């Protein structure tokens, strides 16, 4: 989907929001893009009491590189539906126990140290192959990896010269990081950073094996020089986010931009009532993402203020 807009009259701007989806098969591209846009709109309306003005949205869809057919309505158990509640979505401060490191996360961090010392990644291999299968495929299938990266790169090049916010969910956040480091190497954005704000949502950037592969391809872990700010949204109950705190292990860019990890509560529930703390729609409706999005849409300086707060 080349673009989209949200009807309204309050929050809008001249930048473009680029979304890239995460793991697993997805509904058809147009439908998935509409649902992302609807989730962002719902978050702005409920969290900030703002009626979104039209804004440019470009969606990077890569599921058809890995799956023969998209999910139809009969097989999609977790579609986007407006949340039936009223008022703002829950903030992490509303439930501090939910954002404390889970037992799984604490145990994984201990194992992570051992894996990095030995260079053997048996736990990560299990997580990637059985829980994050597309991520396993991303590293095992160079043709798929290059094609997925190519779709984001083409989108970024199409919007060259515009203010850009990237929202990368799950593996989409990893693809965004890879592409931004590669484009930096090619000299993209030697003046002002071409991406004003990178927002990763539930992305597996703290996993030991992912960090190992990133270092092998890009060198030191750091904020890409192609971005002005990087915010990493994490629900600590989300297994994709276990591992090191991104803000603690990714060094500042040459421009001085630092990664900022923000704890959130992903309140998504399927139509049957089942919770999924990794779901993109839940991350896109969090108050923390809504504030970052509104800051981007309103003014460039507001992004820097949001990143420093």
Q: What pLDDT, on a 0 to 100 scale, did the predictor assign at position 239?
A: 84
In tens, the pLDDT along 286-296 reads: 999 999 999 99
The pLDDT of residue 223: 98
pLDDT, position 127: 52
pLDDT greater at residue 193 or residue 242:
193
> Does residue 108 register a pLDDT over 60?
no
Domains in the chain: boundaries: 16-68+80-308
133 closest CA partner among 59, 65, 66, 64: 66
On the CB side of 243, CA atoms within 13 Å amount to 25
Cα–chain center distance at 217: 20
The average pLDDT across 129-157 equals: 88
In the predicted model, what is the mean pLDDT of the chain? 85
The reply to whether the predicted model has a pTM over 0.95 is no
Longest dimension (CA), the chain: 56
For every residue of 185-221, DSSP letters joined together read: HTTTTSSS-SBSEEEEES--TT-HHHHHHHHHHHSS-
What local confidence, expressed as pLDDT, does residue 253 receive? Answer: 96
For residue 282, which of 90, 60, 3, 14 has the smallest C-alpha distance? Answer: 90
- Section 150-172 average pLDDT: 96
Q: Find the mean pLDDT for residues 193-211.
A: 93
In this predicted structure, which of 54-63, 120-129, 293-302 has the lowest mean pLDDT? 120-129
Calculate mean pLDDT across residues 266-278: 95
Q: In the block, which residue shows the tokens 């051992």?
A: 114
34-61 residue pLDDT tens: 999 999 999 999 999 988 888 999 999 9
């Amino acid at each position: 989907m080349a673009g989209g807009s949200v009807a309204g009259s309050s929050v809008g701007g001249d930048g473009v929001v680029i979304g890239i989806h995460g793991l697993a098969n997805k509904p058809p591209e147009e439908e998935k893009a509409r649902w992302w846009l609807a989730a962002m709109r719902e978050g702005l309306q409920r969290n900030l009491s703002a009626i979104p003005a039209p804004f440019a949205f470009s969606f990077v869809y890569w599921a058809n590189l890995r799956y023969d057919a998209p999910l139809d309505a009969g097989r999609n158990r977790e579609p986007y539906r407006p949340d039936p509640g009223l008022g703002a979505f829950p903030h992490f401060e509303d439930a501090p126990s939910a954002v404390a490191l889970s037992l799984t996360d604490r145990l994984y961090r201990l194992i992570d140290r051992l894996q990095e010392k030995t260079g053997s990644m048996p736990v990560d291999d299990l997580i990637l192959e059985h829980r994050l299968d597309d991520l396993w495929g991303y590293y095992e299938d160079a043709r798929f990896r290059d094609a997925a990266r190519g779709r984001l790169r083409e989108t970024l090049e199409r919007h060259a010269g515009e203010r850009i916010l990237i929202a990368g969910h799950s593996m989409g956040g990893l693809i965004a990081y890879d592409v931004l480091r590669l484009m930096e190497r090619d000299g993209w954005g030697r003046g002002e950073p071409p991406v004003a704000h990178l927002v990763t949502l539930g992305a597996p950037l703290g996993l030991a094996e992912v960090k190992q592969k990133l270092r092998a391809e890009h060198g030191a872990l750091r904020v890409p020089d192609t971005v002005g700010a990087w915010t990493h949204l994490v629900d600590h109950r989300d297994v994709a986010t276990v591992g090191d705190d991104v803000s603690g292990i990714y060094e500042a860019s040459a421009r001085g931009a630092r990664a900022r990890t923000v704890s959130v509560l992903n309140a998504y529930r399927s139509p049957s009532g089942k919770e999924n703390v990794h779901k993109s729609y839940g991350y896109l409706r969090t108050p923390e993402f809504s504030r970052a999005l509104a800051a981007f849409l309103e003014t460039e300086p507001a992004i820097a203020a949001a990143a420093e707060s």
